[in-house]
Amino acid sequence: MLAYAWLMLLFPLLGVLINAFFGRRIGKRAVSWVACSAIGLSFLVALGVLMGTAGSTGVEQPLFTWISAGSFHVEFSLLLDPLSALMAAVVTGVSFLIHIYSIGYMAEDPRYARYFTYLNLFVFAMLILVLANNYLMMYVGWEGVGLCSYLLIGFWFERKAAADAGKKAFIVNRVGDMGFALGIMLIFAMFGTLQFSEVFRRAPGILGPAAVTAITLLLFVGATGKSAQIPLYIWLPDAMEGPTPVSALIHAATMVTAGVYMVARNHVLFDMAPTTAAVVASIGAATAFFAATMALVEKDLKRILAYSTISQLGYMFLAVGVGAYAAGMFHLTTHAFFKALLFLAAGSVMHAMAGEINIQKLGGLREKLPRTYAVFAVGAAALAGVPLFSGFFSKDEILWRAFLHSPVLWLVGLGTAFLTAVYIFRALFVTFWGETRAEKKLWEHAHEAPAVMSIPMLILAVLAVIGGYIGLPRLSLVEGYLEPVLHAEHAAEAGATEWVLLAVSALIALGGIALAYYLYVVRPAVPANLSKQFAPLYTLLSRKYYVDEFYMAVVVEPLRQVGRFIAELFDPRVVDGAVNGLARLAGVCGEGLGTLQNGRVRSYALSILVGVVIILGYFLLR
């Protein structure tokens, strides 16, 4: 099966080519068949690879030589090991479900074929990122998914907000990608190769503490961009301007987790750099907490989910920062299921309510959309970490590992877990419970999504419930599966402590849900009062800590000033001045020399005479 792994890349690529060149001619039905079957087949291959790589430490499968210049040699080859296989299976599996969902969600869109082309291209790029066996190939995939993200955020580019959001995502990611690129260059400078296996094998011998810290910090800068961590998280909430399935696929389940995957892939280097690991864990914990606080007051359902994604990504970085790579990958997997589910349910709400997404203008939808309500509730329970749902196990694993590392990180994580339960159940209660606040026309028009949309949601709901059982604390399938790659040191058997922590996090989650229930169902007036009483805090949160304004003032405005200076002074005066000056110089010279050519034969003769006299004089007097 492993020998056919390249088919995983081929199918989406074929889908891209067919839909890009013939999509407008073959009709929507054919487009959806091509796109979905491409990803479906790719998923089957990924499953085969997932089984085939169990217990292996990794197989490298060269496809062709990509670059060969002097001593610089890059193979285009696939790295098939449990880590990449798990990631590829999650990516293709979730993508497949979201492709099917998109058939219903995008049915009316005039740019249907283009949408599926982009979506397939995204999967192709993401698989290159995941299956790369060297940094350069990974970087190509990394940029490829960034491009697809930009294209899909701005898919409805007629709306200025969407076009701006796309640009913002692209530009903010450029900052991160710069760090990633510098990290790769540094690795090449130190090792002379970009192949993962070579780098990891020789790393202990070559890298000093300073070098390895620099490399890992630069790589992590790349991860903060792609995975929306402090300080580069600001693009993700705006990215919600894209179609909702895109938010589910790219900005929740797959692309934004690329940073976590990249850190796990480079765990050999990160293990050698305790400083970086501490930075990663702290930034992860801080991001998790601050994003959760912002989600508390957000009114846009998709943006709540976006902040939640940032927060959950923070958990994953907390995990990889404390060395619990398997726990991070486990949470990545369960998060892909339940967050994609939540987004798809939000999309179903938008579908029913003609695009309305402000939760304060919804309410009472459980009556109209019982199926959507049910799956959203499952997703919310999984996200909040209600016991026996998938998020509970993965989050608990992370908290447990964080506790072993540093109780402070554990406390921050626990606080975040509480906030998570509050904000997601706030969203649930305000959207689906109580009296409706929707316009009458919209309310009557509201209808449950077609089967093509609800079946993927149901499948994801099932996965969101059972997805956690693959990584039960005692069973540890995920950790065992990833063992050959990650060599996770097994956490000490702490017995009682572990169970206590488990109980604490369960209680915290239930407590958060209870608080949300009290605030938004029992006493709906309380939140409004609270927001008045703590007005400064409320404003601070709802304005997102003024971070956007801060970046605007500190980064964007100065750059704009520089741009203005260049456009208004430097360009016309210096650049144009140089060109115009040269032209004027030529003109002046021409005029000066032109007076010599005055048309008077006698003055020509005089010049000849003078010339002859000078030349003769020179030869005679020399």
- The CB-of-557 to other proteins minimum distance in angstroms stands at 55
Least distance from C-beta 604 to other proteins, angstroms?
A: 10
For other proteins, which stretch binds (CB under 8 A), given 538-546, 552-560, 579-587, 599-607? 599-607
In the complex with other proteins, the residue whose CB is nearer, 593 or 621, is 593
Can you tell me the distance from the alpha carbon of 59 to that of 79, in angstroms, rounded to the nearest whole number?
6
Q: Is the CB of 539 or the CB of 607 nearer to other proteins?
A: 607
Distance, in Å, from the CA atom of 246 to the CA atom of 520, rounded to the nearest integer, reads 30
**At closest approach, how far in Å is the CB of 607 from other proteins?**
10
Long-range contacts of 104-112 (CB under 8 A, 24+ apart): 104/351, 104/449, 104/450, 104/452, 104/453, 105/243, 105/244, 105/245, 105/347, 105/351, 105/453, 106/243, 106/245, 107/28, 111/155, 112/23, 112/28, 112/31
* Rounded CA separation 453/305 (Å): 19
Shortest reach from residue 552's CB to other proteins, in Å: 59
The amino acid present at 513, given as its one-letter code, is I
Question: Closest approach of Cβ 620 to other proteins, in Å?
Answer: 14
Contacts for 184 with CB less than 8 Å, ≥ 6 apart: 135, 136, 139, 194
- CB of 603 vs other proteins, minimal distance in Å: 8
620 binds other proteins (CB under 8 A): no
Counting contacts by CB under 8 A, is residue 602 touching other proteins?
A: yes
The Cα-based distances of 287 to 228, 307, 379, 483 in angstroms read: 9, 10, 21, 28
Residue 612 beta carbon to other proteins: minimum distance, rounded to whole angstroms: 10
| Residue 596 in contact with other proteins, rule: CB under 8 A | yes
Contact call for residue 600 and other proteins (CB under 8 A): yes
If one counts every other C-beta atom within 10 angstroms of the C-beta of residue 217, the result is 17
Q: In terms of CB distance, is 503 or 613 closer to other proteins?
A: 613
Least Å from the CB of residue 601 to other proteins: 5
CB of 609 to other proteins, least distance (A): 6
Alpha-carbon span 49 to 104, nearest angstrom: 30
CA–CA separation, 55 and 421 (whole Å): 37
Distance CA 358, CA 306 (A): 14
Among 594, 618, 619, 620, binds other proteins (CB under 8 A): 594
**Which of these ranges, 88-96, 458-466, 539-547, 597-605, lies near other proteins under the rule CB under 8 A?**
597-605
Cis ω before 231 (30° cut-off from 0): yes
Nearest distance from residue 589's CB to other proteins, in Å? 12
- Using CB under 8 A, which of the segments 404-412, 526-534, 570-578, 600-608 binds other proteins? 600-608
Which of 221-229, 406-414, 468-476, 601-609 is the region at the interface with other proteins (rule: CB under 8 A)? Answer: 601-609
Whichever of 534 and 604 has its CB closer to other proteins, that residue is 604
Are the C-beta atoms of 258 and 335 separated by less than 8 Å? Answer: no
378/424 Cα distance (integer angstroms): 11
Binder of other proteins out of 440, 536, 599, 618 (CB under 8 A) = 599
| Closest among 231, 152, 146 to 181, alpha carbons compared | 146
Residue 29 half-sphere exposure toward CB, CA atoms < 13 A: 0
* Choices 58-66, 173-181, 581-589, 596-604; region in contact with other proteins by CB under 8 A: 596-604
Q: Which of 537, 582, 588, 605 binds other proteins (CB under 8 A)?
A: 605
Positions in 195-224 near other proteins (CB under 8 A):
none
Write out the binding residues for other proteins, residues 564-593 only, by CB under 8 A: 593
In sequence order, the 6+-apart residues with CB closer than 8 A to the CB of 225 are: 172, 173, 174, 175, 176, 177, 179, 180, 232, 259
Query: Could you tell me the smallest distance in angstroms from the CB atom of residue 160 to other proteins?
Result: 58
The yes or no reply on residue 598 touching other proteins (CB under 8 A) is yes
Question: Which amino acid is located at 145 in the chain?
Answer: V
Residue type (1 letter), 198: E
How many CB atoms within 10 Å of residue 379?
Answer: 31
By CB under 8 A, tell whether 601 contacts other proteins.
Answer: yes
CB of 584 to other proteins, least distance (A): 18
Nearer residue to other proteins within complex by CB, 566 or 610: 610
* Of the candidate residues 597, 618, 619, 621, the single one contacting other proteins (CB under 8 A): 597
Nearer to other proteins, 70 or 599 (CB): 599
Size of the site for other proteins (CB under 8 A): 13
Q: Which residues bind other proteins (CB under 8 A)?
A: 593-602, 605-606, 609
